[in-house]
Amino acid sequence: MGTNRVLVLALMFVVVGTAGVSITTWLGEWPTADGALFPRIAMMPMMGGGMMHDPRMRAMMQEMMSGRLPPGITPERLPDPNSPGATLLIRYCTQCHNLPAPAMHTAEEWPAVEARMFNRMAMMSGMGGMGGMMRRRMMPIRAPAGEEQETILAYLQGHALRPANVEALGPPDTPGLALFRQTCSQCHALPDPTLHTADEWPVVVDRMRKNMRAMDRRVITDPERDEIVGFLATEAGS
Ligand code: HEC
Ligand code: HEC
């Protein structure tokens, strides 16, 4: 899903939320013919207790964000799933989108991504005015405290993606190298080819194709996939 559509949807949330409050207040004073306060009652599930507590609303928000993070990383598949870091990741990082995999970024990349996410959460949980209204009415976002932020970051960095040593990847005319560099550094740093064996790489690359589809990137063709897998096989770990 493109950024524009996400923005439009996000705006719709605000407008529907705002309109919901005024229409409910206004119509609440205009009982229907049989005297029932129908509109107020009809609005209740949407307004009461914050929309994000509604599983349907949460699912919709996650769907909206699906262009950002692919589904499929389940809590059980997290490394060290019962550690404090994994527990906090599940608690805070699934409020807006799918669970992020620690291996999606290198230890060097995570601090900047994290800072962006923490800022977002702090903004959405603390703002007054419209933000306060959004928080109360629609999306009560919880933000991690300072110590929790450190635990999450340490956990992500502890299980991060190992980046490639680009100079060690061979001369520039090595078959598949250019395509690998160009394709596999779009969403995260270029991964180290020794991370997986020649048998494992085809499976990982096929999962990345699904990620490309889920994250709205151009999906590599079959010949491109074979070229990248061929390159990775020659550089693979054992
Ligand atoms: C308040 C909502 C919200 C919360 C909570 C949130 N995110 Fe995000 N996240 C977003 C949005 C919006 C995007 C897409 C825009 C962007 O990348 O900044 C995104 C994108 C991402 C991406 C993909 C983009 C990239 O740079 O790789 C990752 C990874 C990510 N979030 C990790 C996390 C982690 C880790 C946490 C928990 C510490 C978290 N998010 C919590 C809203 C949120
Ligand atoms: C569209 C974005 C995107 C592109 C492009 C992409 N990846 Fe990924 N990559 C991800 C996401 C999301 C994760 C974490 C979830 C997962 O592992 O599927 C990830 C994780 C990884 C991991 C760590 C997990 C593991 O199984 O070891 C490796 C290695 C990796 N990618 C390799 C590649 C390679 C090789 C390419 C190029 C063919 C590539 N990626 C292209 C999104 C992408």
Ligand 2 nearest-atom number relative to CA 201: 35
Cα 85 from Cα 149, distance rounded (Å):
9
Beta bridge partners of 191: 163
Domain boundaries, the chain: 3-158, 166-235
- At residue 38, the pLDDT reads 33
Q: What does the angle CA 67 – CA 73 – CA 79 come to, to the nearest 5 degrees?
A: 135
Q: For residues 181 and 205, what is the distance between their CA atoms, to the nearest angstrom? A: 13
Contacts of 186 (CB under 8 A, 6+ apart): 217
Nearest partner of 191 among 160, 158, 169, 161, judged by Cα: 161
Ligand with smallest separation from the Cα of 205:
2
Distance (angstroms) between ligand 1 centre and the Cα of 96 equals 8
User: What is the full per-residue pLDDT of the chain (238 aa) written as tens digits?
Assistant: 445 555 555 555 554 444 444 333 333 333 334 333 333 333 333 333 445 556 666 666 655 654 578 876 899 999 999 999 999 999 999 988 889 999 999 999 999 999 999 998 888 776 545 555 555 555 678 899 999 999 999 999 999 999 999 999 989 999 999 999 999 999 999 999 999 999 999 999 999 999 999 888 999 999 999 999 999 999 999 8
Residue 54 sits at φ, ψ, to 5 deg, of: -80, 120
Ligand with an atom nearest the CA of residue 68: 1
Q: Is the CB of 113 under 6 A from ligand 1?
A: yes
Taking phi first (over 0 means left), then psi (-120 to 50 degrees means alpha), and beta for anything else, what does residue 83 get? beta
- Does the C-beta of 92 come closer than 6 Å to ligand 1? yes
- Top mutation candidate among 179, 204, 210, 217 for ligand 2, by most atoms within 8 Å of CB: 204
pTM of the model: 0.79
Closest ligand relative to 97 C-alpha: 1
Cα–Cα distance measured from residue 66 to residue 237, given in angstroms and rounded to the nearest whole number: 32
- Judge contact between 156 and 85, C-beta under 8 A: yes
